[in-house]
Amino acid sequence: MNAVTDMAKSHGEELAHAKTLGWLARAGLVARGVVYGIIGILALKLALGDGGKATDQEGALQTIAHQSFGKALLLLVAIGLGGYALWRLVRAAVGHGAEQTDSGFDRISALDSGIAYGLLCIAAIGILTSSGGGGGSTKETTGGVLDWPAGQILVGVAGAILIGVALYQAYKGLAREFLEDAKTGEMSEGVEKGYTALGVFGHVARAVVFALVGYGLLKAALDYNPKEAVGLDGALRELAHASYGPALLGLVALGLAGFALYSIVDSRYRKV
């Protein structure tokens, strides 16, 4: 048993330091940027009354697929998302990369994002093979879970976790903690200022959306009503219909677009 454990640990160490994994991680950051860029642009067009729509990550993948050379572009995005998921899962398992060591919280965060982006990669493959992209809507999924034993508790916990993630995203942005993950010494002064601004704005915008999704799940659990649950697209629609909705949606949309640009720049400077 010890021999098997030692072998697995050795292979994990090799993979964590592999240059190929580093390149996959950087490709994944670009893919993440593309997805968030589409979501942000469509939401901004909706805020401006220019024919946009509120969509989520899977909807962004569908949008890519419907463009000229969409299948080829979506294949590249799927490879990037898969690479990003693999990198995050390796970081969760090993606790470090070639250029950085992770805390216990970092490893939990890596596991969460690795699973999420792995599922998004599967959704992209489903679209490519015309077998659909994934499960039903957030309301349908929540309704199914609510009927499970302890379903209300599970949905409530999921909502609380998302609100916790939102708070952490806001802290990470406002405290500029994300700079610790970047090779700022290789940036010019102008690049660092732009990178910092995009990171702060983008993380706060993600925090707003995650908080709305988490709040919807908590409401669904407390009221035993899956109609209260919303996904990313639903959260953006709620912003559009709130007081000063177009202005709020426009700000969040710009933030998501900023996070997209931050992700793409991060693919150059991220410590992997």
Q: What residue segments make up the domains of the chain, in order of their start?
A: 2-269
Sign of CA dihedral 230, 107, 270, 72: negative
Catalogue the E-assigned strands of the chain.
none
Calculate mean pLDDT across residues 182-198.
95
Arithmetic mean of pLDDT, 87-114? 86
Read off the pLDDT band of 132 (50, 70, 90). low
Mean of per-residue pLDDT scores for the chain: 87
H or E stretch covering 266: helix 245-269
In the chain, what percentage of residues exceed pLDDT 90?
A: 55
How far is 165 from 182, CA to CA, in rounded Å? 21
Report DSSP state, residue 103: -
pTM as predicted: 0.86
pLDDT in tens, 135-172: 555 666 666 777 777 788 898 898 898 999 999 999 99
**How many C-beta neighbours within 10 Å does residue 1 have?**
5
Short-list 29, 55, 26, CA closest to 40: 55
Q: What pLDDT does residue 196 have?
A: 97
pLDDT of residue 244: 77
> What number is the average pLDDT over the span 76-97?
92
Q: What is the mean pLDDT of residues 10-38?
A: 84
pLDDT at position 136, please?
Answer: 55
